[in-house]
Structure 1
Amino acid sequence: MPDVLEERAGVPVLVCDPAGPPVATTEAALDLIGAAFGGAEVVAVPAGRLDPSFFSLGTRFAGEIMQKFVNYRLRLVVVGDISAHLAESGALRALVAESNRHDHIWFVPDLAALDARLAATG
């Protein structure tokens, strides 16, 4: 399945294919941002597509990617089980908790949770 633009809870979301190319560089993130400019407000990226360095905050890769989405006024949603990464890093747990309190970057376990979150934010 290719990345597809879907309306979810009334919001246009670019739902990225779990089997798509890995997001291992800022250029790959910019490619997703470019694809979202077809009308998406949210980009839902499966956690498995993110390079492991995304979850190791010392690399600063997560910060670079997240800042790109904020700069382009797109919401980034990481979809999937990241519990193994969370178990290894208190800093990542804090980042996820703080991100989920706001509107720009979310971490959700699945698309159903994304739908519920979108519906709740109107």
Structure 2
Amino acid sequence: MNLITIKHNDVEIAVIRSSETLITDVQSALDLIATVSYETGCDRIVLPKASLSEEFFDLKTRLAGEILQKFVNYRVKAAVVGDFSGYTSKSLRDFIYESNHGKDLFFVAEEEEAIAKLAAL
């Protein structure tokens, strides 16, 4: 995992660049939150879509909701960068839509958009 910190509008944001799956369950999400906090001190994280297991995008597993709750509980904001157009589930599309209109988790196509959204909070 390559972890860098950038500053945008005086806000420090951790950017993860990795092609490996980093979040497979709630514990791995907590581990990632702790690692980012310890190594960077940031409470805003940009994640590539590949860092989330495909189970996250199957809402029947409840994994997305459980992980989102951990991010909220620990006051960590995150943006997931990738192409989500391949998912046909209406429930998932609704989840992404609602997340993008909230203040905790965003799903965007480009890293620059993720940084701008997280810096604006």
Give the alignment's TM-score, normalised by structure 1. 0.86
Query: Unmatched 5+ residue regions in structure 1?
Result: none
Aligned-residue CA RMSD (Å): 1.7
Q: Please report how far the alpha carbon of residue 54 of structure 1 lies from its aligned counterpart in structure 2 after TM superposition.
A: 0.4
Q: Deviations over 1:3-59 (max 9, x none)?
A: 222223432112112234431121211111102324112111110111001001000
Pairing partner for 1:67 from 69, 92, 98: 69
- What percentage of residue pairs aligned between the two structures are identical? 36
Runs of 4+ in 1 over 3 A off after TM superposition: none
Distance 1:116 1:14 in 2: 13
CA contact (8 A) 2:21 2:53 kept: no
Q: How many residues align?
A: 119
Equivalence for 2:29? 29
> Which residue of 1 is the match for residue 80 of structure 2?
78
Determine helix, strand or coil for the equivalent of 1:16: strand
Contact 2:21 2:50 in 1 (8 A): no
| SS of residue matched to 2:102 | coil
1:43 aligned residue: 45
Q: TM-score, normalised by structure 2?
A: 0.87
Single out whichever of 107-116 and 12-21 deviates more from structure 2. 12-21
